[in-house]
Amino acid sequence: MEILAFGVQADEKPLIEDAFPDPYDARCLDVFLNEDTAPIAAGYEIVSTSVNADLGARVLEILAAGGTRMIAQRSTGFNNIDLPTAERLGMTVARVSYYSPYAVAEFAWALALAVNRRIVRASTRTRDFDFRLDGLMGRDLHGRTAGVLGTGKIGEAFARIAHGFGMRLLGWDVAENPACMQLGMVYVPKERLLAESDLVSLHVPLMPETLHLIDADALRTMKDDAILVNSSRGGLIDTAALVAELREGRFTGVGLDVYEAEAGLFFLDKSLEAVEDDTLARLVTFPNVLVTSHQAYYTRDAVGQIAGTTAENVLNYRAGRRSENVLVPRS
């Protein structure tokens, strides 16, 4: 049986192909699933998708009309999938509910350290043989306060690294994580966390309740010299409000691996095109902002786990088994 996988990066391809045992075979495409590319899936019972795929009602209807009966999403997030429509069409939907939390947590720290110590600016200068230190001064994180919004597996991994730096820990979540509390984390209301933290890192899922969790009011609550990091979902931050605060000269640094309007941009080469997104174009001009293209998960360990779980989800679907990864069960 052949599975059609959309949005596969070159580095991912061998890991995905190797994950499926005989007689299964993964046909990997580098194009992303949307209304224009959905007809390619005609005749494929199982389609695997990336987090930036468009799985709205219209795309699902095209897939179902072509014979697709299962969506195997290669990510934890699933806000891009119209689950009620999938259920109406009798489609099974599964995701990867778990993969290495260290991949994302370590990358979040890479962003925090890079903006704090002006690594990108320093590297650009030395390439031009400019070895001045003007404008490169950072600050010790030891003894300062790290605020972790979302203390699940990734938030806990981030907190452990912060603890290693000798930072005071504040947390906010719907449920307290005992492992984080053992590190000395104190759970506080979001407003207090934002007001007291020198470093704020986001590790919560995107859902209606968390859309623009960091809005204009939240940003104004933060310290003027705080560092803000988002390696979770772009919609957690009101980007227009963030740009407005940055224009006022606020924040030591902002590290973003995600962007709320990243669909159709991230994972693609847009270097020869005019950027139509004025907000993103303005955002990347700030010297204290570092934007990367949703790569926090992108380690061989994490992608290997994602590929393996995706293959397992397919095998379970074919065998009629159900796991915790299933969002819409087989009808």
Residues recognised as catalytic: 233, 262, 294
Residue positions counted in the chain: 331
32: which DSSP letter? P
Residue 16 DSSP class:
H
Residue 217: half-sphere exposure toward Cβ, Cα within 13 Å: 5
Dihedrals phi, psi of 119, to nearest 5 degrees: -65, -45
The torsion defined by the Cα of 264, 325, 83 and 280, in degrees rounded to 10, comes to -20
Tell how far CA 192 is from the center of its chain: 25
Rg (CA), the chain: 21
Burial, 327: exposed, middle or buried (Cβ in 10 Å; 0-12, 13-18, 19+)?
middle
SS3 assignment, position 25 = strand
Q: What are phi and psi of 228, to 5 degrees?
A: -120, 130
Identity of residue 195: A
Q: Are strands 186-187 and 199-202 parallel, antiparallel or unpaired?
A: unpaired
